[in-house]
Structures are given as C-alpha cells and as structure tokens.
Chains A and B, each alone.
Chain A
C-alpha cells in the first residue's frame, strides 16, 4: 500500500462535548493495531481541527485518502475500529455512517471567508495555517503597502464591524491613523456576551492565527505597537489556543520587534474577561483591561481619541479582524462583490434553537432569512411551525414568521425592528411564548446592567417587574402602554448601548405579538402554554390507561391513582413542571 491518509477530527467545544477526545484516542489505538502507520508509506497524519459549523452532527471526522474526502457523522469511539479496518486499510468507506445529503445542503448555500479555514487547519499548528496561505497577507502588506494604502483597501472592501453596530472598519482605522502620538492600542474584542452566539469562540478555537494576522495588519495600518485580546474566561479552549498561537507567531517572527525585518513592532497580550456582559461595550472593556469595574463612561471622548490608559485605541471584533487577511489576499473588489449595496461581504451566524441543523454558518449579506432557515437549517425541529427568529441577542428583536423573506443585512434587519448584532440567531417555534422570551432577555439585561446610570438600572428593573407580573397572571390594564413608554424612555436616556438597546426585545415582541400580551393580561392565558402560573395540567380519564408512568416521574408526588385505573392530579401540589405531559404515551395529560 502506498497512500496518503489524513484524518481530521472536529475538536471544537461541540466536538469535545460529543466525545472528540475519546474518538482521537480510538483512532490512534486502532491505527496502531491495524499497523496502518507501517503499511501506509507516504503519510498518515491525524489532525485536530476546529469547528466546521455542523455541531449538531458531532463528532465529525474526515478521512482523506489520496485527496478523496469522506466525512463521517455522529462518530463514537466504538465505531472507529470498523472505519479503520474497512475504509483505511480496506478502501471501502462505511456507507452507513457517512454524512447524509443534508450535510452537503447545509454547506452548499454558504460562502465561507472567515470560516474557510476553520475545520481545515489545525488550530494548534501555525504551519498548517501557513500551508493554506496564512500570513501571506501580512508579508504582502509589509513588503508593498503603506499604512494608508492598507486602510484604503479595507475601506474599498466595504467591511463593517461585525460586533453589532456595523461601523465601517476602514473609517475607524482612518481616524486612528490620524490620532496623534506614538502610543496607540489595538484591541480585539472577543468578549462574546450575547447569549445564543458563539461565532467568535468558534473562530478563535478553529483558526486563531487568522485573528492574529488581522490584528497585525490593523496594528501596522494604524501604527499601534501594542495589542490586547479581551476574551471571555468562559471559553477555556479558545484562551488556550490563543496563547499557543501567540507563542508560535512570536517564534515565527510575525510578532515582536522588527516584524519580518521591517521597523514595525507589535506585541499582543491576552486579558481574560471576568464575566460581565457590559464589558463588550468599548469604554467598559477598556476600564476592565485597566483593572477596574467594567463600567462605561460618556462618549465623547471616543476611544480613538482617549482610550486605554488615555491613549488612542481601536477596538475591533474577532470576526471583523479575521476577515482582514482574506481581504488583503484576495482583494477589496472580490470582497465587495459579495453582499448588498451597503452591507458587503459575508456574515457568520450562530444558528440555534428549534432548528434541525443547528450550527455555525457563514452566508453572503443580503441572503433571505428563508434560505437560512429552510435550506441551510433544514427547517424546524420535530415538524413544528416556525414562530419567529430572534437575532441580535438581548439588544435585538424578533422577526416573525410572516417576514421570513427579509434579507439579512444591517439595513433590512433594522427596518423590521431587529438588528444584525453579533450574529446570534435563535429560532423559536409555536411552543415558545413571546412574552416569556421578552422576560428572559430583560432578566438578562437587568442583571447585567452595571448600575451606573439610572434609566438603565431602574428602567430595566421596572420593565422586568411588569413583564413578570404579566406572565404570572397579574397583568393590568394599561401595562402594554406602560411597557412601550418606559421602553422608549430607557432607550433614549441610557448612557451606553446596553441600556439603549435593552428594551428592543420588549418593543419588537409587542409590535408583532400584541395579541399574546393581551391574552396574558386580559384572559389570563398563555397561548403557547409556557407561563407556568397560567397553566394547569389535568388527566383525561377516557385516555388514561393507569400505567403509572406519570406517578413515577412526578417530582412533587401530585399524581395518584390505582394501577390500570384513571389517575388524578392534585392541583394544589402540582408544580406544573410538565414531566407527566412529556412522559404520557397515551396523550392523556391535558395542558391548558
């Protein structure tokens, strides 16, 4: 045998949670047992790769023999031996375990720029990134371009900040290059705080060198000798890979003094966030790096005028920076050719919730939401009906099912009352209560409000109280109007983005689902059957077979009855957890 074998095992957080570590160990064992390394003369290598997006099918394993790639899904350690024996030594892929057609549909409508190397490169090996063209962009920039020319390329590409607000990156850099003084800072914001978003984690875990290369190019462009990556401590794997990548980049001469022989110095430090959502806000993030409580301050002065330690500072999001090397390599025109008139390029979304194919996707700007949900996402889980798509996390809003043809770009999303945000996309189905969703986000923003300004500190608290009483059946006449007035006050008078956007989930759910609010307030009814206080469970005697399954799962001991005779639920004892409803095979439990 004389063949080239390469095995790639998905080792993002999703892959590891699904057992990736054990799968790698099994491969090593089975390969050794089958004597593959001895018989395969050319090469047999095993790579840990980062997230390839389709986390719902983890552990995903690529087996590449002489350039022919087969991908296996749901791989468990005990499946490895057969794959090695039949496929690697025997040349016949194990067809039953290969990915199905929808794996390819999932990828076909995507255009990958930021994610193009995720799942292909070994994030723990700089050589792997270099072999796919990595660090070519910084070489090109340093050899042939002035800082201003570099900024002009980014401007021409139309790249806008991927952290949420969508400020043009080139324009931001332009302001920084004009800022006076030799000391400037470039900060990479990896404090991905939106619940339901994991784009930045996956990029740092899957291809940390692209982020570093983007930072180095940015630092050269604006003239910053120092850089920071501010990353969440909740992402241990990303932190570990980032540290390793910085070390390797330093050893290879891409970081440090006189980079690539030019008079250009740049060093990067990693700062761990300590768990505060507000630290994603620029001035709060700076305060946190300075070792203070992460509270925002009034702007101006903007960070580009007076930022970290009082010096001009630029803060770019992970995904923004990861785009930069690809734009330099392939040209501004190539990038600007993708997307819409005002929103160029691609955007990474974390597609999650009640969707069949959840995972990380990258699509051209302007793609209709429908294509994302049905073609890439494969539709709603369990054949249920789509109700809404929540984008932009706690600062965003809900797009109702009837607006599913909305194109995904900054402007169109703004028009329907939501935002692009950092890219979280949570799909909700008919069993989700929109008042409860609004309450969930307010709980989040209320507890994350830093407390510095009154409108946000007190306003979010009051909003939450009103939402809570509505979901508990104590809603009053006029509550909807009160929510609307208070929301607009909090929006206009809060100090930072957190407060200014916190009421968005409330306003957007009232806008599209006013009837649900009314049902809660006036009829004391939760149409989706979520709000516990408005629910009761009872047993339909004619369907109950007396199998006792419900009595066994009831954590409160609220169900009684003789075997093979209809059971009963004691309403005073019932905690409305719904365990019986899910357990009953005979549909004898009535919710309502």
Chain B
C-alpha cells in the first residue's frame, strides 16, 4: 500500500490544491478511501485527516466503504427520471439484495449507485454496468443483465 501511495503523492508535489486529485487517485487505486491510506497520506503531507474527510464527505464521487465487485450506476437525470429510472433502481435494489440504507450487497458483489446525470439523455433511461453505458433500459433487459453478472458469466470489462 505504501508504495502505491508514494507513487500517488509523487504526482502531486506542488501545492495544497491537489488534495482532491490525491483522493481521486486513492479511490481509483483501492476502490474506496481506506482509513489507513488517508491517515498515512495525512501524516506524510502534514495535513489533518479531518481535512481529507471534509472533502471526501462533500463530494459524491468518494466512498468511505468498499464497493462491490460489480458497480451498477443508475442515471437519475431528468430525462431518465421521466422515463422510469426509479422503477429500474427499485428492481435493482431488490434483485441484488442491497440492504436498506446501504448501496452495497453484504457479499460485496454488487454496488448500486445513483448519479445525477451522465449526459446520455437521448438514450434514457441509462444504466451503467461496470463502466459500460446501456441505453433505453427496461426492467426486463436489466434483470437479464444482472442474472448473467450474478452467475459470473460476464467478467469486468474496462471502458473501451
């Protein structure tokens, strides 16, 4: 871990304006903001950990808990909303056994996230499954997709 964090810090030596960038890199390296990582960075930079947490809890992008292996993101933009995104989210939460008030299933296999708008409104409603954008989603299509993921038939594919 320390090696990875060292590398991240080396990219951002210049000034305090990079706290957000550092957190973004930690998030993408470990999948979430690990407490030990924040403490380590805080000590190295002599910036109070509270400052990091202040930023982390302000922005929607940061997570303080580990995310699931598969990340399903539902767009909640206006166009998606009027085309039924709420129903998609409800069916996701039910199908993937996401506990109330949480966004990740207990077995850490799935995280269901909401995002304000991904700007693909022409193909609303939009669901992003492991970084791949799926447009014109219906509950049926979504459930099929989730079943293949659950059975492990589809592996994580990176964005283009």
Determine if chain A interacts with chain B: yes
The digit string for B30-65, where 1 denotes a CB below 8 A from any CB of A, is 000000000000000000000000110011111000
Cβ–Cβ contact B61 & A275, under 8 A: yes
Q: Whose C-beta in chain A lies nearest to the C-beta of B95?
A: A555
A56 to B79, CA, bound (A): 13
| A579 with B139: CB separation less than 8 A | yes
Which residues of chain A in 274-313 are interfacial with respect to chain B, using CB atoms and an 8 Å cutoff? Answer: 274-277, 288-295, 309
| A317 at the binding interface (Cβ < 8 Å) | no
Residues of chain B within 8 A of A293, CB atoms compared: 54-55, 58
Known: A292-B19, A360-B122. 19 other contacts (CB 8 A): A13-B120, A16-B160, A17-B126, A55-B122, A55-B123, A195-B116, A197-B121, A201-B119, A272-B24, A275-B115, A290-B17, A291-B20, A294-B58, A295-B58, A352-B124, A358-B122, A358-B124, A426-B79, A444-B116
Is residue B78 within 8 Å, beta carbon to beta carbon, of the partner chain? yes
A17-B128 Cα distance, complex, nearest whole Å: 10
From known contacts A14-B123, A17-B133, infer whether A276 and B17 are also in contact, taking CB-CB under 8 Å: no
Given contacts A18-B123, A195-B77, contact A555 B94 (CB under 8 A): yes
Q: Does A424 contact B (CB under 8 A)?
A: yes
- Which chain B residues border A437 with CB–CB below 8 Å? 82
| 0 or 1 for each of B94-129: is its CB under 8 Å from A? (1 = yes) | 100000000000000000000111111111101000
CB nearest neighbor in A for B23: A274
CA distance A309 to B126 in the complex (A): 38
Interface positions of A from 253 to 286, Cβ below 8 Å from B: 271-272, 274-277
Q: In the complex the two chains form, what is the Cα distance from A17 to B131 in whole Å? A: 11
The smallest beta-carbon distance between A129 and chain B, in angstroms, is: 21
Q: How far is the CB of A585 from chain B (nearest CB, A)?
A: 16
Closest to A295 in B: B58
The 8 closest A-B pairs by CB, nearest first: A198-B119, A55-B122, A275-B60, A274-B59, A196-B78, A195-B77, A352-B121, A195-B117
A contact residues around B62 at 8 Å (CB) = 274
| Interface pairs (22), CB distance under 8 Å | A14-B122, A14-B123, A14-B135, A17-B123, A17-B135, A55-B120, A55-B122, A195-B117, A197-B119, A198-B121, A236-B159, A274-B55, A275-B116, A276-B58, A291-B18, A352-B78, A353-B78, A353-B83, A393-B78, A426-B79, A555-B94, A577-B87
Tell me which residues across on chain B come within 8 A of A56, comparing CB atoms: 122-123
Q: Digit string of A439-477 for contact with B (CB within 8 Å is 1, else 0)?
A: 011001000101000000000000000000000000000
| Chain B residues within CB distance 8 Å of chain A | 15-21, 23-24, 54-55, 58-62, 76-79, 81-83, 87, 90-91, 94, 115-124, 126, 131-135, 139, 159-160
Q: How far is the CA of A65 from the CA of B2 in the complex (A)?
A: 57
Known: A275-B61, A293-B55, A352-B79. A359 touches B122 (CB 8 A): yes
> Does residue A335 face the partner (Cβ distance < 8 Å to B)?
no
Task: Count contacts on A: residues with CB < 8 A to the other chain.
Answer: 61
- Contact yes or no, A233 B94, CB < 8 A: no
Q: Does A526 contact B (CB under 8 A)?
A: no
- Cβ-defined partner of A428 (8 Å) among B61, B82, B131, B134: B82
Cα distance A444–B77 when bound, in Å? 9
**Given known A-B contacts A274-B20, A294-B59, A577-B87, A426 and B123 have beta carbons under 8 A apart:** no
* A291 and B17 contact, CB distance less than 8 A: yes
Chain B residue numbers with a CB within 8 Å of A274 are: 20, 23-24, 55, 59-62
Q: A277 to B133, Cβ gap below 8 A?
A: no
Whether the Cβ atoms of B59 and A290 lie closer than 8 Å is: no
A193 at the interface (CB under 8 A from B): yes
A56-B123, A272-B24 known; A353-B79 Cβ under 8 A: yes
Contacts of A235 in B (CB 8 A): 118-119
Contact of A358 among B23, B59, B121 (CB under 8 A): B121
Contact (Cβ within 8 A) A277 B82: no
Q: How far is the CA of A248 from the CA of B51 in the complex (A)?
A: 36
Per-position binary interface string of chain A over residues 204-237, scored 1 when its CB falls under 8 Å from any chain B CB and 0 otherwise: 0000000000000000000000000000011111
The reply to whether A276 and B117 form a contact with Cβ atoms under 8 Å apart is no
Q: Does A520 contact B (CB under 8 A)?
A: no
For A55, the chain B residues whose CB sits under 8 A away are 120, 122-123
Q: Which of A308-364 contact B (CB under 8 A)?
A: 309, 350, 352-354, 358-360
> Smallest CB–CB gap between B16 and chain A, Å?
5
Q: Are A555 and B78 in contact (CB under 8 A)?
A: no
Cβ of B55: which chain A residues have Cβ within 8 Å of it?
274, 291-293
Q: Considering the complex, which residues of chain A in the window 104-151 have a beta carbon less than 8 Å from any beta carbon of chain B? A: none
Among B54, B77, B133, contact of A196 (Cβ-Cβ < 8 Å): B77
A192 within 8 A of B: yes
Please give the distance in Å from A190's CB to the nearest CB on chain B: 11
With a cutoff of 8 Å between Cβ atoms, the chain A residues found around residue B160 in the complex are 16, 21, 237
Closest chain B residue to A201, Cβ basis: B119
Asked whether, in the complex, the Cβ of A277 is within 8 Å of the Cβ of B116, the reply is yes
Chain B residues, Cβ within 8 Å of A294 = 58-59
CB of A432 within 8 A of chain B?
yes
Complexed CA–CA distance, A574 and B134 (Å): 29
Residues of chain B within 8 A of A276, CB atoms compared: 58-60
Compute how far the CA of A236 lies from the CA of B131 in the bound complex, rounded to whole angstroms.
Answer: 9
A194 within 8 A of B: yes
Q: How far is the CA of A578 from the CA of B160 in the complex (A)?
A: 36
Given A195-B78, A424-B78, residue A290 in contact with residue B16 (CB < 8 A) = yes
Tell me, in angstroms, the Cα distance from A198 to B19 when the chains sit together: 28
Q: How far is the CA of A353 from the CA of B61 in the complex (A)?
A: 26
